[in-house]
Amino acid sequence: MTEGEIKLTPKSLFGYVLFIIGLLLLGYVCLNAIYLASGTFKPLQVQTDQKTISIETQFFFGIMLQIGMYALIIVIASILMKNGMSIVRKG
């Protein structure tokens, strides 16, 4: 095997697939962040059956929920990418 050659085995192909899935998840989060910043998407609004919570608080809880959701997706994507690259290096 020469210096610039890539050896493609089923194991390394699986690692590349994991890495690409992680990249797609990061791209999804980036696109949603751009849409939220431009006003195309509106932030979530957490509503309850009672009208005791003000609109501002509903939006605040919705934004906190979205931040947590996107943080979880970013963590999953980084784990997939890290494990994918370690599989490629070992394979």
Tens-level pLDDT at each residue, the chain (91 residues)? 567 777 788 899 999 999 999 999 999 999 999 999 999 999 888 887 777 788 888 889 999 999 999 999 999 999 999 999 999 988 7
Predicted confidence at residue 1, as pLDDT, reads 55
**What domain count does the chain have?**
1
- Find tokens 């919570």 and name the residue: 53
In a domain, 3, yes or no: no
Predicted confidence at residue 53, as pLDDT, reads 80
Which domain, by its residues, includes 82? 10-90
In a domain, 2, yes or no: no
Termini Cα distance of the chain: 14
Predicted confidence at residue 36, as pLDDT, reads 92
In a domain, 72, yes or no: yes
Contacts of 3 (CB under 8 A, 6+ apart): none
Predicted confidence at residue 50, as pLDDT, reads 72
For the CA atoms of 22, 26, 69, 18, the dihedral, rounded to the nearest 10 degrees, stands at 0
In a domain, 4, yes or no: no
Predicted confidence at residue 2, as pLDDT, reads 66
Residue type, 23: L
The answer to whether 82 and 19 are in contact (CB under 8 A) is no
